[in-house]
Amino acid sequence: MSPMRIQWVAFTTILTKEIRRFTRIWQQTLLPPAITMTLYFVIFGQLIGSRIGPMGGVDYMAFIVPGLIMMSVITSAYANVSSSFFSNKFQRSIEELMVAPVHPGTILLGYVCGGIARGVGVGIIVTLLSLYFTHLQIHNLLVVFLVILLSAMLFALGGFINAIFATKFDDISIVPTFVITPLTYLGGVFYSISLLPDFWQGVSLFNPILYMVNTFRYGILGVSDVNIWFSLGMLVFFIVVLATYSLWLLRRGVGMRQ
């Protein structure tokens, strides 16, 4: 078997395993985000939104839908890779991949694509649910596709790095709880940063999730608080940085060869 064939078989095997994993336990991976986002639609969109009125020139329900979809995508992509890779590390089955003739890039790509698959899958489910509450008309399909793919990839890489350094199962919940969740709620999901005082608008610009949410909102509604091309460029930059760092950690066997 040629080296390229070996890498392809390894990649498809990892990806298939990852997809089968989160679809087999769909009650834990696909159902909870759907229920949570439905509650957001009801509470924030219908009950509170009816009193707030239009936001950013559009209906409040339509305004928050892109942010909620993006929130479900990034949290699902992150959780899938961090939990799956750490489980394999904890069970020491990752050592079989480390000694096999499989390139570290192939291992990384397999897990990241698995995270992207779950993130996109959850995003589609939440999008379909949102159609019950509001009407969505895509403004720019290319932007929608790019920001979903790049955001899921970025957070899948983040979950991979988290899993490498985690030493117990509790460690993989620290970053989502104390970093991702606060940044998400402060990332313009439920409001436009134009409502904030100048100082807090400046502070919000340091929140990376703000750019993802607003770029996706532009793709759906055509409105945004930030420059979308700058946002996409920064996403690509951070993906390259995290991917390079992840490959370096894999080659050194950090967290796996102690």
Position 9, amino acid = V
Q: Which two tokens stand for residue 231?
A: 């946002």
Residue range 106-123: mean pLDDT, rounded:
95
Angle, alpha carbons 15-17-18 (nearest 5°): 65
With b meaning 16 or more CB within 10 Å and e meaning fewer, what string describes 223-239?
bbbbebeebbebbeebb
Residue range 63-73: mean pLDDT, rounded:
91
Angle, alpha carbons 240-243-148 (nearest 5°): 70
- Counted residue by residue, the chain has a size of 258
Identify which has the larger pLDDT, 190 or 256.
Answer: 190
Question: Distance between CA 235 and CA 225 in Å, rounded?
Answer: 17
pLDDT in tens, 135-187: 888 888 999 999 999 999 999 999 999 999 988 888 888 888 888 888 888 88
Per-residue pLDDT at 109: 94
- Is the pLDDT confidence value at 55 over 80? no
Which 3 state secondary structure label does DSSP give 257? coil
pLDDT in tens, 8-27: 988 999 999 999 999 998 98
Q: How would residue 69 be classed by pLDDT, with cut points 50, 70 and 90?
A: very high
**What pTM was estimated for this model as a whole?**
0.91
Residue range 211-224: mean pLDDT, rounded:
90
Residue range 213-221: mean pLDDT, rounded:
91
Q: What are phi and psi of 14, to 5 degrees?
A: -60, -45
- Is the pLDDT confidence value at 258 over 60? no
Neighbouring residues of 163: CB distance < 8 A, sequence distance ≥ 6: 81, 82, 83, 84, 85, 86, 89, 172
If 0-12 CB within 10 Å is exposed, 13-18 middle and 19+ buried, where does residue 103 land? middle
Please, what is the average pLDDT of the chain?
A: 88
- Is the pLDDT confidence value at 121 over 80? yes
Question: Distance between CA 66 and CA 63 in Å, rounded?
Answer: 7
Which 3 state secondary structure label does DSSP give 221? helix
